Amino acid sequence: MTINPDHLLNFPIPDVRQRLTRRDTILYALSVGLGQDPLDARQLDFVDQHRTLRVLPSMPVVLGHPGFWLLDPRTGVDAVRVVHGEQSVEILRPLPVEGEVIGRTRITGLVDKGAGRGALLYSEKQVIDAASGDVLALTRSTTFLRGDGGFGGPSGPVRPAHPMPEGAPEFVVDLPTRPEQALLYRLNGDDNPLHADPTFAEQAGFPRPILHGLCTLGVVAHALLRVLGDYDTTAFRSLDLRFSAPVLPGETIRTEIWRDGSFRARVLERDEIVVNNGHAVFERAPDGGPKR
């Protein structure tokens, strides 16, 4: 099946209305690794319902999530070979720990890289407070359609990547993942079989199910919140990153962070960069350093 660019650009993605509970908020934090250090009381604010519960700022990626809609054959996309390329999160208003939200996803662009080179699909999701109609957050994604390309679509524009600074990072944070973490993360509504089904993963060219890119993002966001925000969620404004390689559940993610908010991440077991060209914006302390 060949992509029809006009059809795909206008493909209807239904709004998703989600009743958000405190349990959902806790599940998300647990699914990206919060609470693994039993002696770090700061993490308990995200996973202990008996405390003043807080929302991890990366949670908008799963709120009102439309599911793996590219699996619909009407898109014309080779869904087996789809991978997550880039992701950003921008917080516009404080996130609720419970309530009702609406996820409104639309396709914003399509780039045909040519026959045998795949295509890029750009999309944006608004996370809307159902009661007030206020937009709480924006998430933007780039999906790499590895099995497509050469369908006569536009050749640009391609979003530029954030340039990485020269020199060594000022901060390094190592956070482990767990072997079953992708199965836990799927409970947030991101049910791509690539992260659970060994046969599907093999067909996609991977030795075994891989961790969701958005789960990797959650782990990295935790590291950024620790270093640049001192676990103050009100300091977080936005993050943007590019996925460069998959993480296998059970590997340790090392996030390397510069004082200007630039970051990248690698897995220690393979010394391979899995996130690159990252940039985060936090409210700054008066000296311009990480907020304390």
Query: For residues 33 and 44, what is the distance between their CA atoms, to the nearest angstrom?
Result: 12
Active-site residue flag, 279: no
- The 10 Å Cβ neighbour count of residue 134 is 11
Residue 157, preceding bond cis, omega within 30 degrees? yes
Query: For residues 75 and 4, what is the distance between their CA atoms, to the nearest angstrom?
Result: 8
3-class secondary structure, 285 = coil
* Bridging pattern class, strands 252-257 and 171-176: antiparallel
Answer whether 170's CB lies under 8 Å from 257's CB.
yes
Contacts 24+ apart (CB under 8 A), 167-172: 169/256, 169/257, 169/258, 169/263, 169/264, 170/257, 170/258, 170/259, 171/227, 171/256, 171/257, 171/258, 171/259, 171/290, 172/254, 172/255, 172/256, 172/257
Answer whether 282's CB lies under 8 Å from 237's CB.
yes
Q: Which of 128, 210, 253, 257 is catalytic?
A: 210
Q: Is the four-CA dihedral 209, 13, 152, 87 of positive or negative sign?
A: negative
Active-site residue flag, 72: no
Active-site residue flag, 195: yes
Q: Is 46 exposed, middle or buried (0-12, 13-18, 19+ CB in 10 A)?
A: buried
DSSP structure string for 91-130: E-SPPPSSEEEEEEEEEEEEEE--TTT-EEEEEEEEEEET
Answer whether 128's CB lies under 8 Å from 106's CB.
no
Q: Which of 85, 103, 118, 213 is catalytic?
A: 213
Active-site residue flag, 240: no
Positions marked catalytic: 190, 195, 210, 213
